[in-house]
Amino acid sequence: MRPAAAVSAHYVVDEDGTVWRLVDEARRAWHAGRAFWAGERDVNSHSIGIELVNPGHEHGYRPFPEAQIAALEALAHDVLARHKIPPGRVLGHSDVAPQRKQDPGELFPWPRLAAAGIGLWPDFTASAEPGLATVEAAQRALAAIGYEVAVTGTLAPETEAVIAAFQRHFRPERCDGALDLETARRIARIAALSP
Ligand SMILES: [Zn+2]
């Protein structure tokens, strides 16, 4: 996040673990901006926004300190329990706005948080999903997960941005927007878990 954008989230978690509550949870915050998830365009009215202090991809993106992640884990645990939010509805801003946002990004420890019940992280090594044979199949699967993507059958820049967003969340070793075999396999795996 950029510090100037911080005022629009419900919470901001600083690198030292300090949690700032900026907007009451009952009120709409503007963290997502123009966004989309699973048919819903008004993401701001249907979500609790948490930003993590970090210089961000354009200004020296760096690892999230332990104190920050520990504080986030406690906060998210509390928010999820109070609002009965399922793990699959814990999303990155890059997930709901893949054409505009990259945060929290490939350094965010999704597997660790998922182990605490925050977000999805299946055992990808154990999954039997064969992967998706075509771009069209991958686009359908990404749309089934919740991403805003048109099913065109071709790899235009918009689709590549969505694939890169998926990778930032579920395949952080590779965030190039390319639909390689492993990325296709993971897309199929997460789609299989989606309602
Ligand atoms: Zn953000």
- pLDDT by residue for the chain (195 residues), tens only, comes to 444 444 589 999 999 999 999 999 988 888 778 899 999 998 888 899 999 999 999 999 999 999 999 999 999 999 999 999 999 999 999 999 999 999 999 999 999 999 999 999 999 887 666 667 799 999 999 999 999 999 999 999 999 999 999 999 999 999 999 999 999 999 999 999 987
- Domain limits for position 148: 124-193
Distance 144 CA to ligand 1 centre (A): 23
| Dihedral sign, Cα of residue 134, residue 140, residue 144, residue 147 | positive
Known catalytic residue at 51 = yes
Helix (H, G, I), strand (E, B) or coil at 40: strand
pLDDT at 175: 96
Q: Are residues 128 and 99 in the same domain?
A: no
CATH number of 179's domain: 1.10.101.10
pLDDT at 129: 66
Q: Are residues 150 and 67 in the same domain?
A: no
Please report, to the nearest 10 degrees, the dihedral formed by the alpha carbons of residues 48, 122, 14, 34 taken in order: -40
In the block, which residue shows the tokens 């054409």? 99
Distance 104 CA to ligand 1 centre (A): 6
Instruction: Quote the pTM value.
Output: 0.91
- Listed residues 115, 145, 166: the one ending a domain: 115
Q: Give 78-83 contacts, CB < 8 A, sequence gap 24+.
A: 79/25, 79/48, 79/50, 80/117, 80/118, 83/25, 83/48
pLDDT at 195: 73
Helix (H, G, I), strand (E, B) or coil at 11: strand
Distance 133 CA to ligand 1 centre (A): 33
Distance 102 CA to ligand 1 centre (A): 8
**Choice among 15, 51, 58, 73 that is catalytic:** 51
pLDDT at 126: 78
Q: Are residues 15 and 110 in the same domain?
A: yes
| Dihedral sign, Cα of residue 9, residue 11, residue 12, residue 13 | negative
Contact 48, 88 (CB under 8 A): no
* In a domain? residue 3: no
Distance 128 CA to ligand 1 centre (A): 33
What whole-number distance in Å separates Cα of residue 104 and Cα of residue 51? 8
